[in-house]
Structure 1
Amino acid sequence: MKPLKYLAGYSANITEQVQTLISTHKLAELLLKKYPITHDIRTDKALYSYTVDIKNHFLRQSSPLSKVIYDDKIDVLHQALGLHTFVSRVQGGNLKAKNEIRIGSVFKTAPLGFLKMIVVHELAHIREKQHNKAFYNLCQHMEADYHQLEFDMRLYLTYLDLVGQLY
């Protein structure tokens, strides 16, 4: 059986349960039961608006976002699911800071919960650069089911890796 790279940090008990779901062809059924539909946030403009709404609700005092886009070049297998970049440049006598978020294109056709989880994750990097306790507390503040959504998203990516399109 193929190794479950998206679940590498989980216990043997969890990975065995997932292997059973895969071998009995019940992983898709589980995902579709829990997340029956995808979202309709397909364009970069809609993604920017969605992300800014979340940011304005939870991180009002943080610096503005200059760009939020789906990125076809983000390789979910080797790099990341999303990227947050912070660039400071001197323009004249002023220091200009730009926050950009790039979300993997795989999330264009994913359930809304998975998109929200990755957006919340990248927004949390505006305040907390490292993946520490404060970072995950902030993620959970913005999305109460953050940890469950992250696990389910890993199941979804495992399914995509092994079988292909779900929706």
Structure 2
Amino acid sequence: MKYLQGYPPALLQQVGEMMAQGELGPWLARRYPEPHGIKSDKALFDYTQELKSRFMRNAAPLNLVRFDAKLKIIQHALGTHTRAPQQQGAKTKMRREIRIASLFREAPAEFLRMIVVHELAHLKELEHDKAFYALCHHMEPNYAQLEFDTRLWLTHREQPEPPAS
């Protein structure tokens, strides 16, 4: 349960029992039945811009938002934000990009929102500190629960299928 490292042992035991009994997937499906309709990079950019304009009007503009199949979930990168200087004549501007792991195309709507909120928060707060999580909770009040449930979903996705009878 690599996505759940750092959580209390009692909670990990409960998750382990749900997995062993085959209950984790159905529980997640009942809790998060709504898929999202965001499948293209353009739709993801528009979705991210809407959240940004709603909660972070004064943040620097985004140049690119896209799904990225190259992000390695194993390295705990569900999304990335980058800042790179870009020369335009005599001016240097900062190019800001957000990339979201492609597996979020198939995720429940709430999990996509959580990861987009997380990456947007990095526009203002680089470190995962108190200010960062306060901003995440400002944009998504249920952020902590969604982050945990996203980790459960990732854990479930990697669980081997039971053998067919």
Normalising to structure 2: TM-score of the pair? 0.95
Matching of residues 77-116 of structure 1 within 5 Å? 77-116=74-113
Residues 1:40 and 2:19 aligned together: no
Moved more, 89-98 or 34-43: 89-98
* Amino acid across the alignment from 1:111: P
Where do 5+ consecutive residues of structure 2 fail to align?
none
Aligned to 2:73, the other structure's residue is in SS state coil
**1:90, 1:79 → 2: CA distance?**
31
State the aligned residue count.
Answer: 161
Moved more, 71-80 or 110-119: 71-80
**2:49, 2:95 → 1: CA distance?**
14
Aligned to 1:21, the other structure's residue is in SS state helix
Aligned to 2:135, the other structure's residue is in SS state helix
**Residues 79, 24 of structure 1: CA spacing in aligned structure 2 closer, same or farther, 3 A cutoff?**
closer
Residues 1:147 and 2:140 aligned together: no
Where do 5+ consecutive residues of structure 1 fail to align?
none
Normalising to structure 1: TM-score of the pair? 0.94
Q: How far is 1:38 from its partner?
A: 1.3
**2:110, 2:88 → 1: CA distance?**
39
**1:146, 1:135 → 2: CA distance?**
12
Task: Report the counterpart of residue 129 of structure 2 in structure 1.
Answer: 132
**2:91, 2:32 → 1: CA distance?**
47
- Percent identical among aligned pairs is 47
